[in-house]
């Protein structure tokens, strides 16, 4: 019995799967954060009414609203069946794990958290790493064991 993995889950060996992914990631990042900012509007309204019901306790979540919305957004989209957020889908890329396992919610959250931490420390250098590494992988991709591939 032979196992034929889903091509979306297995990291391909063909160099064309990684061609141009770094620039596509930049544009996907911009699209995703516009979507997250738009999602923060209804989340803020819901949190306002939740705060009234909880007698003001919900107001303490407002400083973390962007982080909560972004975490849920990336957790459910990147950790979902498409393994790509809406911005990534628009740019024709997806994130896959190099061990062949599907991306799950927790791995997507860890990937996002490492991106934010490393981006705050190494802001200009985080994209330069992708120019010199195989498959255009960034530092947080190495730490989590993921790679970005083209889907279109």
pLDDT tens digits for range 9-54: 567 777 778 888 999 999 999 999 999 999 999 999 999 999 999 9
- The reported pTM is 0.87
1 has pLDDT over 60:
no
pLDDT tens digits for range 70-109: 999 999 999 999 999 999 999 999 999 998 888 999 999 9
What's the per-residue H, E or C state across the chain? CCCCCCCCCCCCCCHHHHCCHHHHHHHHHHHHHHHHHHHHHHHHHHHHHHHHHCCCHHHHHHHHHHHHHHHHHHHHHCCCCCCCCHHHHHHCEEEEECCCCCCCHHHHHHHHHHHHHHHHHCCCHHHHHHHHCHHHCCHHHHHHCEEEEECC
Domain boundaries, given as residue ranges, for the chain:
21-149
Q: What was the pLDDT predicted at 9?
A: 57
Q: What was the pLDDT predicted at 39?
A: 98
Rg (CA), the chain: 17
As given in the structure block, the two tokens for residue 63 are: 């400083």
Q: What was the pLDDT predicted at 4?
A: 42
pLDDT tens digits for range 114-125: 999 998 888 778
As given in the structure block, the two tokens for residue 67 are: 């982080």
**pLDDT category of residue 152 using cuts at 50, 70 and 90:** confident
Rounded CA-CA distance 29/22 in Å is 11
Computed over every residue of the chain, the mean pLDDT equals 89
């Amino acid at each position: 019995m032979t196992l034929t993995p889903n091509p979306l889950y297995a990291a391909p060996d063909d160099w064309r799967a990684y061609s141009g992914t770094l620039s596509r990631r930049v544009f996907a990042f911009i699209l995703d954060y516009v979507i997250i900012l738009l999602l923060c509007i209804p989340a803020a309204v819901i949190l306002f009414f939740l705060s009234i019901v909880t007698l003001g306790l919900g107001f303490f979540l407002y400083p973390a609203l962007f982080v909560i919305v972004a975490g849920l957004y990336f957790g459910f989209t990147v950790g979902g069946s498409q393994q790509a957020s809406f911005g990534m889908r628009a740019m024709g890329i997806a994130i896959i794990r190099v061990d062949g396992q599907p991306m799950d919610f927790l791995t997507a959250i860890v990937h996002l958290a490492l991106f934010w931490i490393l981006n705050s420390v190494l802001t200009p250098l985080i994209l330069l790493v992708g120019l010199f590494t195989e498959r255009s992988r960034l530092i947080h991709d190495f730490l989590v064991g993921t790679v970005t591939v083209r889907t279109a």
